[in-house]
Structure 1
Amino acid sequence: MAIEVYGLDKCSTCVKARKWLDRHGVDYRFVDYREQRVPAEKLKRWAEAVGGFDQLVNRSGMTWRNLAPARKAPGSDAEWTLLIREYPALVRRPLVVLADGDISLGFSDALFARLFGKAK
């Protein structure tokens, strides 16, 4: 399995992560999840891998803050996946699916150096 990086094309953190990967010669495939919506089953697997939807969803962003209060308390995995499909920017970015299937959220030089075995 190749490395997949999920995020938003114009997200500044995703841009930094992609530049880091390019600079270090890491082969990856970028998926903008506004353009290619993530299937519910994949969202559930990601949530399980990172400790639940509470970890997968960015509650500090404008998308979350602008949601109606009733939408901020999904009661099931199905409700979470519907919410994320409607508002893909809710997923923390970037989300990296490593070659072994492990999931990583976010970007920093140190995190990517550790994930990809590259010296700073």
Structure 2
Amino acid sequence: MTAVTVYGLKTCDSCKKALKALEGAGLPHTFVDIREGVDRVVKVPDWLDAVGATALVNTRSTTWRNMSGEDRELATHDPAGVLIAHPTLMKRPVIEAGSVITVGWNATSLDALLAGAAE
């Protein structure tokens, strides 16, 4: 079974739901805080390649609302640079299970992860 890594924030409700569902499914996983426990310079470009900026940049977040217009414009041209500088701008959780990368948490997320972890 492939290792599952959950990247997020400890206080994020979506991350808490994901962790609870993974535990309930008996899927071994590791939680990593995106602010301090991950090399964003390496991971963010990989995530953007896998899911795209639209899926990864949270334009409904407080971080987005508090950003200057210049920074918002920069996010459209250089999403990696903005996400590296402002990790709380990422939609959460970002979950890696083998070759499967998901962003956010919904009813189908667990099924996708179980399929990816079985690889």
TM over 0.5: yes
Q: Normalising to structure 2: TM-score of the pair?
A: 0.83
Number of residues paired by the alignment? 114
**Which structure 1 residue ranges, 5 or more long, are not aligned?**
none
Q: Is the 8 A contact 2:100 2:113 kept in 1?
A: no
Aligned-pair Cα RMSD in Å: 2.0
Hey, what does 1:109 align to over in structure 2? 107
Instruction: Tell me the alpha carbon deviations over residues 30-76 of structure 1, each in whole angstroms, 9 at most, x when there is no partner.
Output: 111112243323211110111x2232111111111110010012278
Given the superposition, is the C-alpha separation of residues 64 and 75 from structure 1 closer, same or farther in structure 2, using an over 3 Å criterion?
A: closer
**Counterparts of 1:76 and 1:64, CA distance in 2:** 12
Amino acid aligned to 1:45: D
Hey, what does 1:86 align to over in structure 2? 85
SS in 2 for 1:73: helix
**Which structure 2 residue ranges, 5 or more long, are not aligned?**
none
**Counterparts of 2:79 and 2:112, CA distance in 1:** 30
Kindly indicate which of the two structures has a greater share of residues assigned to helix.
Answer: 2
Q: Give identity over the alignment, percent.
A: 32
Hey, what does 2:18 align to over in structure 1? 17
Structure 1 segments, 4+ long, off by >6 Å, are: none
**Counterparts of 2:38 and 2:44, CA distance in 1:** 10
**Counterparts of 2:24 and 2:75, CA distance in 1:** 42
Hey, what does 1:59 align to over in structure 2? 59
Larger mean CA deviation between 88-97 and 53-62 belongs to 53-62
Q: Is the 8 A contact 2:18 2:93 kept in 1?
A: yes
SS in 1 for 2:108: helix
